[in-house]
Chains A and B, each alone.
Chain A
């Protein structure tokens, strides 16, 4: 560990020779993820390469002398089981048993820069890379075997990592014997011969996740469990009010205190022990300024601001016909406004990172999704070349986009440089919930025109919101992270990301407009913005798919029939149809709003997302006297093309629906004029076990080997809020147009 940051710039080949054992023995049987093994905790002393050559097969695949396979990929495991899927893909193409495969992820010194994971691209990009690497590895091994055995490649077969002559199985050589320990030393081919899907025995099969056995016995190693020799413990102290300036740090003798690190408005304590750091952060005397109010006094003011402020940028898409003329001519016009709040990633564990900054280099371990951009950001913050920075991803609590993990890593690097020893920083709950970058709010005005034949012929979508910042790499520069913003003077990236819904309706006159409103508190406060799972997807779909129901009823149509009539994409229609059939959809051309205290309703919403299509039917039971309600059942039709692992997919879809339900029913970051008030699980409530549905029924659509695999990490989140709002409308005859869909909102809508 001591000289981990020396010998910068050695070649990949030297590294592999010197480092040797990237392949380490399994600590827990059946765990596919290299980084969870305790023995893999620390980088090999010595060098790491400046970059990993994506064109060298050795960058992706290594065969051990024992026939073990180590596959490296520039993605990370966010908790949905993608590591198992990668192992399936590699094992399939190579014809080796699944247990023999170890997947290495997200280490800038050993894996190809694929930026990391985001936008549900784990399988799309990482899976494809694994498939090609496995296929080319197999071809390379077959060529070696052909030479050694004196048998033509076409006359060779492979079973469980052993190559043998089809005519004489005694003429054989295992992968380990053929190449074990040595490099394959070939370029990644343009078109490796991929296995035919008809021959698959692992891909497409319900393979149990390889990480779960370790998780249930407490042996899965998270970032929080990493201990580096000589490591100190740090905690940060954040400004008590938005934009408060650090005035004075008092002297204090506190147990275990090694250093107080402060620059600008950034403040941290470093102690020998963890509980000492927690106590020191509370006890340290600090004076802050009391700045003028930086926020609004709640959401009414915020939404009014979004609706009235002059936009910084405006973009439009999906223009058809002339919406203004069509609206003017419409026999019947509808207009409605929808509002969606700031939401927190609120990960189960506050972020944790370990950093060691010495001798002009840095090693940072973290649990965010994008190690490669972060490497540049650490270099930018510390003013050292990026190639002298190594960022190592370790499993963490689910991150759902850009939670507090990047901030914590940057903080840890900054603190570690100041103390010259390895530092473990873990945030406290309030640092996580009150200070993570938030999913941005948006107010969306929808308008539609219906003609005298009761056909929809005008559709107008106009969003006004704050952009999520720092998309889509997450943290690129020092100023993209909280530490850079609090110390000031750092380079920042600015992103204007439009907020468009994505449905394929074919109304003859249509447009989508997105106004991005400037948000001058988007940095250095707890109302900073970034991407939260399915960025802008749930909020924009909430508006457009809620409004689709309102328009359907106005046109005298059943919501499912309405979608099937107007949708333009065959796959979109297929998920709506499949979902309605599975749910036992009861056609209704007006909200049913049954009498009696408990009212039941059904609601549908659908969303396409980057090649995946999802439809969700929510069923609710509402107590009309209290406004309290339960989602009693979800039905989800999901088309993400060819499914690598149906078991993992089911878990991923269910989790998207439940997290989406939590966001729809409960979640809005609370704030007043001076600070974020959501700081724990009481002030930022999420779903609990008493609320989850009695059943979730899933129907997989379009799962054919020839259909390209698309993402599943986020799409099922998108339609959830709209589906619940539509079900509530059906149940009580009243429409709620602001998330969260609280019992109070139900009561207010009932009385309106």
Chain B
């Protein structure tokens, strides 16, 4: 482990200055230094997606992303996904409407990944959604309601567009 360095980034719209060894996984900085607990440790191997955050709008696995990669970038976590306080992101609302959670430990990853997927492709088909989210795990088996929720969000985005 190398020496701690000062690293600046914007997290959920706020400028943050972090002191950490540059190879520290972004996940631990978000959780333990910034108190943002929605990204979760699932595997530490970028295999499950529970730690997903947006880095400059792209869904990335924060457990396998060194904090240095976020230097000068915009990081958005589930806590900052909603457009403004008191309003939910269309994907969050769809997950509530479809009751898309069991234990919910993985839900961060599904919502953050689906939000990024639909931002790039609001008219995603069933097949595109399934393939786009194939790299995420849910051990409880919540997939059916998650798929319905993402499709519902897509249809609402399409209706607005």
A-side residues, CB < 8 A to B, are 78-80, 208-209, 211-213, 215-222, 224-225, 255, 273-276, 278-279, 346-350, 395-398, 400, 426, 428-429, 647-648, 650-652, 654-662, 680-682, 686-690, 692-693, 696
Q: Which residue of A lies closest to B67 (CB)?
A: A275
**Chain B residues proximal to chain A, CB less than 8 Å:** 1, 24-25, 28, 31-32, 36-38, 40-45, 47-48, 50, 77-79, 82, 88, 92, 95-96, 99-108, 111, 129-131, 133-147
How far is B145's CA from A79's CA once the two chains are assembled, in angstroms? 14
For A662, list chain B residues within 8 Å (CB): 141
Task: From B28, B101, B105, B134, give the contact of A212 (CB < 8 A).
Answer: B101
Identify which of B41, B50, B102, B136 contacts A426 (C-beta below 8 A).
B41
Across the interface, B40 reaches (CB within 8 A) one of A208, A224, A346, A657, namely A224
Chain A neighbourhood of B139, CB < 8 A: 346-348, 397-398, 400, 659, 686
Assembly CA distance A637 to B88 (angstroms): 35
Given known A651-B142, A689-B133, contact A397–B79 (CB-CB < 8 A): no
Per the bound structure, the CA–CA distance linking A594 and B130 in Å amounts to: 28
* A217/B77 contact (C-beta < 8 A), A397-B105, A654-B144, A656-B141 known: no
B47 touches A681 (CB 8 A): yes
Cβ contact within 8 Å between A680 and B79: no
Given the known inter-chain contacts A209-B99, A279-B1, A688-B137, please indicate yes or no for A273 contacting B32, CB distance below 8 A.
yes
- Whether the Cβ atoms of A216 and B79 lie closer than 8 Å is no
Closest to A233 in B: B32
Question: Which of A274, A681, A692 is within 8 Å of B48, CB to CB?
Answer: A681
* A400-B141 Cα distance, complex, nearest whole Å: 12
For the complex, give the distance between the alpha carbons of A348 and B40 in Å. 10
Neighbouring B residues of A651 by C-beta, 8 Å: 99, 102, 142, 145
B144 adjacent to A658 (CB under 8 Å): yes
Q: Are A212 and B45 in contact (CB under 8 A)?
A: no
B37 neighbours in A (Cβ, 8 Å): 218, 221-222, 224-225
Contact B43 A680 (CB under 8 A): yes
Complex: A692 Cα to B104 Cα, angstroms: 19
Are B104 and A79 interface neighbours, CB within 8 A? yes
Quick check: B134 and A689 within 8 Å, CB to CB? yes
Among A217, A276, A656, A681, the residue within 8 A (CB) of B82 is: A217
Pairwise interchain contact B42-A348, C-beta atoms closer than 8 A: yes
Q: A349-B40, A395-B103 are in contact. Are A208 and B96 (CB under 8 A)?
A: yes
| Given A217-B82, A680-B43: A696 touches B144 (CB 8 Å cut-off) | yes
In the complex the two chains form, what is the Cα distance from A208 to B95 in whole Å?
Answer: 12
Given known A397-B103, A429-B44, contact A216–B141 (CB-CB < 8 A): no
List chain B residues, Cβ under 8 A from A696.
Answer: 144
Contact B47 A349 (CB under 8 A): no
Residues on the A chain within 8 Å of B42, using CB:
348-350, 429
12 example contacts (A-B, Cβ-Cβ < 8 A) are as follows: A211-B101, A216-B111, A218-B78, A224-B40, A346-B139, A348-B106, A648-B99, A655-B140, A659-B140, A686-B137, A689-B136, A690-B131
Q: Which of B25, B28, B96 contacts A216 (CB 8 A)?
A: B96
Interface centre among A213, A215, A222, A426 (most CB of B within 10 A): A215
Q: What residues of A have a CB within 8 angstroms of the CB of B88 in the complex?
A: 216-217
A217 touches B134 (CB 8 A): no
Q: Write the nearest CB–CB distance from A49 to chain B, whole angstroms.
A: 30
**Inside 8 A of B78's CB, which chain A residues have their CB?**
216-218
In contact, B99 and A647 (Cβ under 8 angstroms): yes
A682 pairs with B79, CB closer than 8 A = no
Bound together, the chains give a CA A661 to CA B139 distance in angstroms of 11
Q: Which of B100, B137, B140 has the most CB of A within 10 A?
A: B140
Q: Which of A215, A347, A429, A688 contacts B104 (CB 8 A)?
A: A215
- Do B99 and A396 touch across chains, with their CB atoms under 8 A apart? no
Give Cα A429 to B92, complex, Å: 28
CB pair A659 B141 closer than 8 Å = yes
**Do B136 and A212 have beta carbons less than 8 Å apart?**
no
Known: A659-B141, A689-B129. 15 other contacts (CB 8 A): A78-B103, A217-B82, A222-B37, A275-B28, A348-B103, A396-B103, A396-B105, A398-B102, A398-B139, A647-B99, A658-B142, A658-B144, A659-B139, A662-B141, A680-B47
B95 contacts across to A, CB distance below 8 A: 212, 216
CA gap between A687 and B136 in the complex, in Å: 10
